[in-house]
A = this chain, B = another copy of it.
Amino acid sequence: MSSNVTIYDVAAASGYSLATISRVLNHPEKVKPATREKVLKVIEELGYRPNMVARGLASRKTTTVGIIISDITRASVAEMIGGIMDISDTYDYSIKIFQIHDEIQVKDVMRNVVAEQVDGVLYLNDELSEAATEEIKEVLKQSNIPFVFTNVINEDKNTASVAIDYLKAAYDMTRTLINQGKKHIYLLSTARRYTVNIAKEQGYINAMQESGLEPMVFRTSGETSINEVHFKEFFQNKPIDAAIAVRNSIAVSFMNVAIGKGYKVPEDIAVASFQNTRYAVLARPKLTCIDIPVYDIGAVAMRLLTKLMSKKTKDVGNTKIILPHNIIIRNSTN
């Protein structure tokens, strides 16, 4: 429960005052090199580590960042957190995770993140309504907690964010298929209207309409087994020669059903997807997909947040970051 040795012990053992010990840790340049050495030596000997809670109270900085997520078991969420943590480690920030499964919890969870005194927030939850999202922004602003939207689209020019251009990504992917001569291209999206998926849909629609083709969005649940049922109903002799799924799991599920029905992939139906997870590579055939740098999104967001938190300079530069994406062609398309 307690790291026994405190700053008092270091002070006593070194013959200096609390203030000096604190200074060698927090403002080493303000202390004479000789005494700095001595103090450091005593700290080392005693194995002293400042109690972060006490430090947090006194300095009003907890060096802790809150991450607000929907569901940690989503591969992209976990991957983003991986990117976040690798950066937060180098900056010596701790990470605290808050999940919001249901909009009912918004108020409560937000009170919590405020009460926890986090220095900043990374907002990764893309499953909430716009109203709920705005409410969260409001709380954060009122509490003066810097935050960045991480892989969550937010129009507001003033809210820091990092994402990729999903609209363009979808557009590019659709164009690629159109250029291969595909005409009946479906978009397989989710029933729930995640902000990123809305952007993907728009990009797809733009590309289709631009070529005089009819956009067809098919919505399915995120749950794997339900997908299959949906997809089976789907194959009632509709003309289709390509499909773009917003997620790997949807793409693979679709592909399996199609192949089960006797279609050949990619000859009869080309299949493409977003993200580049292990599903894409473990699928047979391997999936053509848009490579979304999920890890980087997390890492870049965390780095941006550190700038926002150390508001020494008002000029943190651009706070609306778009990371590049690219298309990886594999065997599920020609």
Q: Interface residues, chain A, CB within 8 Å of chain B?
A: 1-3, 47, 49-54, 56-57, 60-62, 64, 71-73, 75, 77-79, 81-82, 85, 89, 94-99, 111-112, 114-117, 119, 143-145, 224-225, 249, 252-253, 256, 259, 278-279, 281-284
Which residues of B are found within 8 Å of A50, using beta-carbon distances? 115
Copies in the complex: 2
CB distance B82 to A89 under 8 Å? Answer: no
Which residues of B are found within 8 Å of A252, using beta-carbon distances? 282
Known: A1-B143, A2-B144, A79-B73. A224 touches B281 (CB 8 A): yes
A61 to B283, CA, bound (A): 48
Smallest beta-carbon distance A211→chain B, Å: 31
**9 interchain residue pairs of minimum CB distance:** A78-B78, A49-B115, A53-B56, A252-B282, A1-B144, A3-B114, A53-B117, A73-B82, A52-B115
A50 to B75, CA, bound (A): 35
Which residues of B are found within 8 Å of A249, using beta-carbon distances? 278, 282
Smallest beta-carbon distance A307→chain B, Å: 16
A52 to B57, CA, bound (A): 9
CB distance A52 to B116 under 8 Å? Answer: yes
CB distance A117 to B52 under 8 Å? Answer: yes
Which residues of B are found within 8 Å of A62, using beta-carbon distances? 53
CB distance A96 to B94 under 8 Å? Answer: yes
Known: A95-B96, A252-B282, A284-B284. A81 touches B89 (CB 8 A): no
Extra pairs beyond A54-B57, A72-B78 (4, CB < 8 Å): A2-B143, A51-B115, A64-B96, A249-B282
CB distance B97 to A95 under 8 Å? Answer: yes
Which residues of B are found within 8 Å of A81, using beta-carbon distances? 72, 97
Smallest beta-carbon distance A306→chain B, Å: 15
Smallest beta-carbon distance A65→chain B, Å: 11
Looking at the complex, which one of B49, B112, B282 makes contact with A279 (CB distance below 8 Å)? Answer: B282
CB distance B82 to A71 under 8 Å? Answer: yes
29 pairs of residues in contact across A and B, judged by CB atoms under 8 Å: A1-B61, A1-B144, A1-B145, A2-B60, A2-B143, A50-B115, A51-B57, A52-B115, A52-B116, A56-B56, A57-B57, A64-B96, A72-B78, A72-B81, A72-B85, A73-B75, A75-B75, A85-B99, A94-B96, A94-B112, A96-B97, A225-B281, A249-B278, A249-B282, A253-B282, A256-B282, A259-B284, A279-B279, A284-B284
Known: A99-B89, A256-B284, A259-B284. A53 touches B57 (CB 8 A): yes
A97 to B49, CA, bound (A): 19
A112 to B64, CA, bound (A): 12
A279 to B256, CA, bound (A): 12
CB nearest to A113 among chain B residues: B94
CB nearest to A97 among chain B residues: B95
Smallest beta-carbon distance A275→chain B, Å: 13
Looking at the complex, which one of B78, B117, B119 makes contact with A73 (CB distance below 8 Å)? Answer: B78
Which residues of B are found within 8 Å of A75, using beta-carbon distances? 73, 75, 78
Smallest beta-carbon distance A220→chain B, Å: 14
CB nearest to A255 among chain B residues: B284
